Amino acid sequence: MDFEDVSYKEVAPSAVHSWRKLKVECSFDDSDATSVMDPFVDEIVANWWLERQVGFYPLFLAVGHVKDDIAMTGYVYQWGTVKCWKADETIFKKAGEFDNRVLFSYKDPPGNRLVYADYDNWFLVLNSSHCDFQISDRHRRMILKPSWKPSDWLRKARKDRSSVMAVCDCLDLRKADRVWARNKPTQKALLKMGFQNVQVKRYKTPTWY
């Protein structure tokens, strides 16, 4: 999560917060609204669909421990140099414009209201705007696999990298077993808040990003 959103307490997601963050991440520009609006509008509506399925607005978590799983959180992308792409140019980030993200890791599933989902099939929701997000029961089962136990999901996560995600209704950041920060100033700030086991960890951004 973004360092500016970190606090030494339990946090909960909201559609309003998601909307604001997606506008920033998509480098929203009113003059280019037609090319930018659709992606994050669709993502918010997809979150609402999932909310109806699980009973709470989702806070997304990656499941796994290898680099591909960590990449799902967005932590590894904060060293990317591209700010946004436009039709005729690529705009690069300047000093002070780079993200500052913090990674919170948990050995055991955090919280009681945690639901696993198939990340490989999440596209079925994201790409369903053409049918007004009317997801068939077959596709719902492909995404949520209601007959699966947690052990089935963890087995899939170990076998297929970046294939499993989870959602919960809130997350106690104070109970994280490990915290990663991008630099020493952020590490010191997190330790001052009260967090333990804070490490400075830089992950190389994938070459395709």
Residue 125 lies in a domain: no
Residue 41 pLDDT more than 70?
yes
CB 162 within 8 A of CB 62: yes
Question: Residue type at 119?
Answer: Y
pLDDT of residue 153: 97
C-alpha 118/C-alpha 72 separation (Å) is 13
Residue 37 lies in a domain: yes
Residue 206 lies in a domain: no
Query: Which residue is listed with tokens 């136990």?
Result: 149
Residue 137 lies in a domain: no
pLDDT of residue 27: 52
Q: How many residues does the chain have?
A: 209
Residue 39 has what DSSP assignment? H
pTM of the model: 0.84
* Count of domains for the chain: 1
> 194 lies in which domain range?
3-114+170-200
Residue 157 lies in a domain: no
137-147 tens-digit pLDDT: 999 999 999 99
Residue 80 lies in a domain: yes
Residue 79 lies in a domain: yes
Residue 181 lies in a domain: yes
pLDDT of residue 200: 97
158-172 tens-digit pLDDT: 999 999 999 999 999
pLDDT of residue 33: 46
